[in-house]
Amino acid sequence: MSNSKTEKKTRLTTDEIVKTWPELSVAAADAADPLKTVSGAPSNNEERTLEQAIGIQIRLFRKHYGLTVAELSGAAGISTGMLSKIENGQISPSLTTLQILAKALNLPMTSLFASFEEKRDCSYVVGGQGVLIERRGTKVGHQYRLLGHSLAGEVVVEPYLITLTEDAAPYTAFQHDGNEFIYMLTGEVIYAHADQTYHLRPGDALLFDSGAPHGPKTLITVPMTYLSIITYVRT
């Protein structure tokens, strides 16, 4: 059960957040651009060059097949330095080199150009819709509604609306790759992560490494709902 010391330590004021992450200073953001988001994500204003797009595709396919730079360069008969420069978009490879790389990856050469004019993903789900998943066994009463999905890219994002009903049982052994963000909407719960517990009420948020065991430990007020966003690298 969460003690007052643990709970007090995990509740940060706005001033404390700004001190621990200076980039979030609203004044600094306003000075640069009054309409700019305070996100720390890098700007994506510049269009990708063809070389960069090809390099990204080669790296994605190489990682998908579990190959190192040395392994792919060896299979294609080119140097590791050249392959590294191609993946980073630093040189313009010849069509012959691309054909060799595509053959080494067992792909049609056209697939290496696929991301140059790729469309930006957007997933739209009408209220009350989404893919409904209901847990059974030890996780009975845990209802998941998938609110969208990422169609492409290196990072997978899975947003869920989670409802724990009156017959839900505590379960603290969830464990998976990536990171998870939880935002409480209704109800009240003691949520466990690794060797710590957190008393979550509506409006509270929790961001954690989901590789450690986690889950609702004590269900104080049910039914409860919370938003869970899971991110992990696509394999």
Domain boundary among 83, 113, 143: 113
Q: Across-strand partners of 13?
A: none
| Domain enclosing residue 80, as ranges | 50-113
Domain boundary among 81, 113, 145: 113
Dmax over CA atoms of the chain, in Å, equals 66
Is residue 222 a contact partner of residue 162, using CB atoms and an 8 Å limit?
no
Torsion from C-alpha of 107, 108, 112, 115, nearest 10 degrees: -100
- CATH at residue 217: 2.60.120.10
Same domain, 144 and 229: yes
Helix, strand, coil share of the chain (percent; to 5): 30, 30, 40
CB atoms near residue 187 (< 10 Å): 19
Nearest to 177 by CA among 161, 195, 197, 158: 158
Q: What is the pTM of this model?
A: 0.58
The predicted pLDDT at position 5 comes to 45
The predicted pLDDT at position 6 comes to 44
Looking at the structure of the chain, the number of domains it has is: 2
Residue 205 backbone phi and psi in degrees, to 5: -130, 150
Between the two ends of the chain, the Cα-to-Cα distance in Å is: 36
The predicted pLDDT at position 117 comes to 60
Same domain, 145 and 211: yes
In sequence order, which ranges of the chain are alpha helices (DSSP H)? Answer: 4-10, 14-20, 26-32, 50-64, 69-76, 80-87, 95-104
pLDDT along the chain (235 residues), means of 10: 46 51 48 58 62 89 90 93 93 92 89 70 79 68 87 83 93 94 98 97 98 96 96 85
